[in-house]
Amino acid sequence: MRKFSLPLALVVVLAATVALAAKPEVRSFTPLTAQGVSGEARLNDMPQQSSTRIQVHLDNLAPNTEYIGTISLAGSIDCTGGVAFVTFQSNKQGKAVVNELVPQQVVDIGPIGIAPSSSPLALEACAQ
């Protein structure tokens, strides 16, 4: 019977860890208004930095409008009461892409909300 060498076993364990950590969590946005804002959020855990990279792709926003993205605590049942983590501008086609690093781990991030910055309580979409 062959014995595994320690370096080989370490490489296998490290490769498995990297493979598991590399898979992002994907959440789809549900529209909350007749405008029908849609899209998805990808949450990439960055354990070395104790943070999460949030990448958001949105469609059907009001053209050339400033929006905010909010995050609620894990365990929240909806997007109300979230804290703003980013401000962004939609383009003339009503689309937006957001790429933001937040100081929370993925497990601590609850629903993600989208609202016009002029009316932050008027949520237009929520991803849970």
Strands (E) in 15-89, as ranges, are 25-31, 38-46, 51-59, 66-73, 83-89
Q: Give me the residue spans of the domains in the chain.
A: 24-127
Tell which wins on pLDDT, 10 or 54.
54
Say if CB 105 and CB 53 are below 8 A apart.
no
Q: Which two tokens stand for residue 38?
A: 């849609």
* Architecture in CATH for domain 24-127: Sandwich (2.60)
**Which amino acid makes up residue 24?**
P
Q: Is the pTM of this model over 0.75?
A: yes
What would the pLDDT profile of 12-36 be if each residue is shown by its tens digit? 444 444 445 568 999 999 999 999 9
Cβ-contact 100, 6 below 8 angstroms: no
**Pairwise CA distance, residues 86 & 52, whole Å:** 13
d(CA 27, CA 40): 6
- What does the pLDDT look like over 60-91, one tens digit per residue? 999 999 999 999 999 999 999 999 999 999 99
Q: What are phi and psi of 44, to 5 degrees?
A: -105, 110
Q: Which amino acid is at 51?
A: S
